[in-house]
Amino acid sequence: MAKSALKIIALKIVGFIIFLILLGIANIVVPNISGNAGMEIISFMNSNLFFFFVIMVVDLINELFWSFYFPFNILAPITGSLLSILIITLIYKLVLLIPYSDGILMMPFALLYILVPVIVLIAGYILILIRGGRPKHVCDEEKKICLRERWEMKKRKLEKKMRSKKGKKVEWEDIGDEFKLVLYNLGKGINELFEGKKRK
C-alpha cells in the first residue's frame, strides 16, 4: 500500500511539473505564432494556475484514498465528488471564453453542479461495496491472476486433447485447437516480454 501511495504521489507531481513546463513553452511560442484566440487561452491558463494546482491536489488526495483498504477509503467518494465540482467549474470557465455564452449556459451548469457530484458519490460507495472494500490496484491484480489461471486451464485442456489425438486423422476442429494454442503461447510470450521491460 505504501509503495502504491508513493507511486501515485510521484506520478501526480511529475504530471504537474510537465504541465508547468508545457505552459512555460506555450507562453514563449504562442505570442509569436498565434492571434487573439491563442493569447486568450494562454492568459486563461496563467490566471487559473492556482486553480489547476488545487485540482491536482484534490485529485492526488482522491487517488490516495482509493488506494487504501476499507475503512480508510470511505472518504474516496466524497473527494471524488469534490473533484467533479472542480472539473465542472473548470469547464464552465472555459465555456465563458466563448462570446455571449454566460446567460445561455447558466441553467445547465447549475443542474450539473447538483447532479454530477451526487452521482459520483453514490457510484463511489457502490464501487467500494462491489470491490469488497479493497483498493483498485488489488482488484485489478486479482483479475489478472484469475484471467491467467483461466488461460492456463484452457491451455492444459488443449494440450491434453492434442496428446490424446496423436496419430489419429487430423480434423478441422483439431487444427482450430492447435491454432488457439499457438495464439495463446504467442500472446503469453509478448505479455511476459512487456512485463519484463516494465520491471526493468
Determine the average pLDDT of the residues in 186-199.
61
End-to-end CA distance of the chain: 21
Q: Which residues of 67-106 are buried (b: 16+ CB within 10 A; e: fewer)?
A: bbeeeebebbbbbbbbbbebebbeebeeeeeeeeeeeebe
Q: Considering only CA atoms, give the Rg of the chain.
A: 26
pLDDT, tens digit, 9 for 90 and up, residues 61-89: 998 888 878 788 888 899 999 999 999 99
pLDDT value at position 133? 72
* pTM as predicted: 0.61
pLDDT value at position 170? 46
**Chain centroid, CA 153 distance in Å:** 30
